[in-house]
């Protein structure tokens, strides 16, 4: 599991949903600083926040944790949403 890739993926998901770090933090009950730490790969979100993120972005926790290529994953998610 590559925490930095996961963080980058979380950042892209947030941006795709037109949210700031502060807005995302408010929605899931953390500070914008915490969101920043997740997105830079300094920390991994705990499971309860991964669940909230997966619900918010309508993807599975497994998809978040097994991201191999951020660009490919984002394209796949966008395609699913546009069906």
Asked whether residue 60 is domain-assigned, the answer is yes
Does residue 76 carry a pLDDT above 90? no
Q: Which residue has the higher pLDDT, 69 or 80?
A: 80
Domain of residue 8: give its range.
Answer: 3-77
pLDDT in tens, 35-53: 999 999 999 999 999 999 9
**Number of structural domains, the chain?**
1
In this model, does residue 81 exceed pLDDT 90? Answer: no
Rounded CA separation 51/56 (Å):
9
pLDDT, the chain, mean: 88
CATH of the domain at 20: 1.10.260.40
Per-residue model confidence (pLDDT) at position 71: 52
Residue 83 located in a structural domain: no
- pLDDT of amino acid 22: 98
Would you state the pLDDT for residue 2?
A: 84
d(CA 66, CA 21): 22
Nearest partner of 36 among 18, 24, 48, 52, judged by Cα: 24
């Amino acid at each position: 599991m590559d925490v930095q890739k996961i963080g980058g993926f979380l950042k892209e998901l947030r941006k795709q949903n037109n949210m700031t770090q502060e807005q995302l933090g408010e929605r899931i009950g953390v500070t914008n600083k915490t969101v920043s730490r997740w997105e830079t790969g300094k920390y991994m979100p705990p499971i309860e926040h991964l669940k909230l993120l997966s619900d918010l972005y309508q993807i599975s926790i497994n998809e978040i944790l097994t991201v191999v290529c951020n660009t490919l994953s984002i394209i796949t998610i966008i395609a699913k949403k546009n069906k």
